[in-house]
A and B are shown apart, each in its own frame.
Chain A
Amino acid sequence: MKRVVIETILSVIFYTLLAWVLSTAVQLFRKFEEFEETNWSQGGEFSFEFNVIPLIIFSLFSVFYAIYSFKTRSTNKRTIEWMFTSMTEYSEGDERESIITSKATRAGYYTYGVTIPILMTILVFLPFISDDFPIYLFYMLAAILNISTIVYGIVWVKEYRK
């Protein structure tokens, strides 16, 4: 159970950091746009700053996350196939854990049925805020993944304790 709780927390941190890194990339691409629009013949100047801290933190965290997930798996599941096909918070040590994982996954899936329509509704306001808050969409998507992951973790723990 402890491993599932830790993996759930790590997944939430991972999605949040991913949103942070990608939103930084968007800001970088916006600077490229400014670069293209600069009128050099009229003495236009261009300078930009790129914050590499999110990328460094994300990279370091990803390495830690991968190593932790790999090491805490049972030996027979430490395969390349598993690395690319299985969610890290899944725990199927025996038949009961498989059933619990199925129930938790179903709860996580139902969550999408609530969060995505809410996001779609909020997207109506995107044209009004996209200029001031261009990275909003990344955080919204990360929030959907995080809510679903948290629901998965809560249901897993609840079922495990029965």
Chain B
Amino acid sequence: MRFKLERRLDIPKWAGVVIPLVSVGFSLLIMGIVIYSYMYSKPSYLNRAIFGALNEYRSNIMKIPDESWSRFEKLLKAGRMKSAIAVPKGKLSSNVSSFALSRLEDVFRSTEEAYKFVRDTSESAKSFPKDFESLKNLHNNIGYIVKAYSALNKAINNAKSIMNKECDCDLKEGINSFVENLTKVGILEDLIREAKSVDTADPEKAIKKLEDIRSKFPDEVKKLFTSKMENSIKVISSRCSLPKSSWEGLVLDYKNNLENAMSSGFNPLLFEKASKILNNVSTYYCFAPVVKVWNDSLDPLYMLHKKASIIEGAYSQLSSALRSSQGVLRSLEKGRTFFVKDTLYSVARYTRNSYMKLEKDSFTSSIFASRIESLKSLYNEVNSLYKSLGKPSDIKKNASQISEKVKTIAKKIEEESNAMREDFLKAAEGFARSAIDSFSAIQSKMFPEGSIESRIAEYLDLLMDTYRYKLKEVLSSGIDRMKLNMAYSQLKEVSRDLTMFLRDISDYYPPSNKRMSLSLDYETYVFGMEALRIHSSQDIIYDSYRSKEEIDKALSGKKDITKEEYTKILDKILQGHLDRVYSILTNLKKDLKSLTESFGQVSKVSWIAVGSAYKQLFTWPFIPKEGLPDTINYMTPLLFTGLGLVLVFQMKLWNIGAEGQFYVGVITALWLSLFVFNNHPSAAEIPIVLLIGGLAGAAWAAIAGALKAFLNIDEIVSTLMLNYIAFHWMEYLVYGPWKAPTNFPETKEIPHQLFLPTFGTSRVHIGIIIAISLSAVVYLLMKKTWWGFDLRVIGDNPNAARYAGVNIAKNIVLAMAVSGFFAGLGGATQILGFEHKLYHGYAPGYGYTGIIIAWLARLDPWATILVSFLFGGFLVGGDQIQLVLKLPKAMVVAIEGVILFSLIASEVLFKYKVRVVRK
């Protein structure tokens, strides 16, 4: 049994439409599968990479004990130190270890890549629900809805007045306003239609109908609002693990307000209230509230630090008071009574300053309330003592008494400053504790199962501990502002880290595996760092071996430690190190395994990615304000090269050199604009530049044509070579003589007078007009001239052409030249209209894509326009996919290949019947 192709003679008319559609559809299906499998398989081979590298690492590190450890041990036991040292040096240090290390680094790189991947994929699924946005939009347009409603009421009233012959009002006006307002919002099309169909000539019927509309109106509006709300809630709850209870209340509130607004004849105020609640819902979406609450509870702690200068001031005043009081004591001791009074006055002043500083600020006065009180009484005490002091002679007399009093004061001052520190610490710790508490409260509400969450808390505790430690350091040295600032920045770090943590959860990770990823992020990092650190400490181990010999020498004379004992100790240390490496590795592996499991979730995200890829591909390139200008600009050069090839392919001349001819056009146009017309450039020179650019392309193509015509050199190869020559020539110019005085290899920009005009303010230049009009030229050339006929005859049957007296050689050169002219013109247009300058690596591939376009257009100039437009759209869509979904550029190339294959294959399958032949 075998398959046989039979030519179909009855190719149906619809085949021309169906073939491309079917094959493009097929290609898109393939593309979906490719994107999906890319998204899906990436984690799995990342995992493979991770595990592969890890296993290699393990086996490498295992080699150390197996091969050299035992030998090393044996030698050590035999007391042959020197040889023992030689073993690990040779086998441990260099190859095995460094290779193992590089594998370990591989593991971490792959892991990092894996995280990035999860992030990127889930980002595409992250966007806020669409319905939500349009609901907000409805709220913004609520004015129109209210107006429409009142217009409806007015119309009914008017109709009633008309019926009662009370007035000669215009019924139409109200209806029109109703329709107009609703159309502005773009909703309730059914009601609009009904309103339009109201018969204004018959008020009675009109009233009935209008009242009918009015009765429906609130319900319809409400339906609109609630359905959007319901849909967005669905999305929110599927994407976010925040329990329903946290936002359900808000949603209910919103619905109530909405209801009230509707039933109260569309009260705009109530609408506004609902809209505000809606905004709240969106801010409370997922994790925002957590961050907020956390920040709120941190505020007092921040405040405490912000007031640090005040506290520090108060504290330093107190220190000065202490110093002064000691000065008083010294003066008394030495009998320098003259200074005592003044110094005591300073003590009083410092004490007063101290509490006044604290008192002045409401925040510090509340925290240090008891300090302020006791300092006040202390001040009074000092003050009264000061006042009780008489003349210096009296002081001398009562020296011992005063000194006793001052001593108690000094002691009190010291106690006060200690208490101040205590107060500060207590306040800071209290605030920190309440921050943590408030966080854990949220946490227990948010994450009822509590696994990674407890880890977050641990992490937080760790950070807070550091903070506390720093704080204590501050306090042990008095209240030093610099150190306080350090603690403050530590605190900031705590908060920033946590906020980032939370943002990561809410933004990047898909709901169900975010916790997993989080724990991995942290743990893997810690483990990895540990392992790397131990690895680097291996050097120290080797060093200790090397120095063993020296130690040995030094020990040889001594008797208190034997060689064996020493060796044992060292071995123990080494074994310990290795054990740690193993345990870390085991943990790491376990961890990575759970990473693999979490990747299972990616498949869900992958589908979303496929969906949005299609959407981007189909819609973006054709939206006028978005991708359409780009599509047209991409299409223009493709149309130029495609048209030239349509012509030359007619005669079965396989010019695949449109790429090179395009480059030659680019080079020529650039040369003319930069070096010939650069003095007084004017728009009048544009046609000249374009024409000469085209002619240069024609000349370039004519080389291959002549080689074919006169030397029978295959045009596929010669045009291919000419492509590369043109490309490298262009690169040479960009890197060499034409390089602009910048760091980047590029040329100067051409004078703006030579820019092709654009349509209005858009990016689209008039090159497209030239290209489309050339399609007509090609059509006329091919179908309405003898030359076109000749070309086709040469292509179909060269012998017949020869007998008919057609000069084949001349026509080959001519056809190649014309085709090259188109490509060169395309290049020149691209420079004048789009690029304006040349930069290194400029290889857009328009020539090669032109081949595909000419072929897909089945060598029809009109179809070429359509195909190049679609292809331009495809390229733009491809760029967009790359940009939005971070799919590799290669994806677009691969899809192009698949489309091409399926198009040419499907064409055949339609032309032929597949028949099963039995032998």
The answer to whether A and B assemble together is no
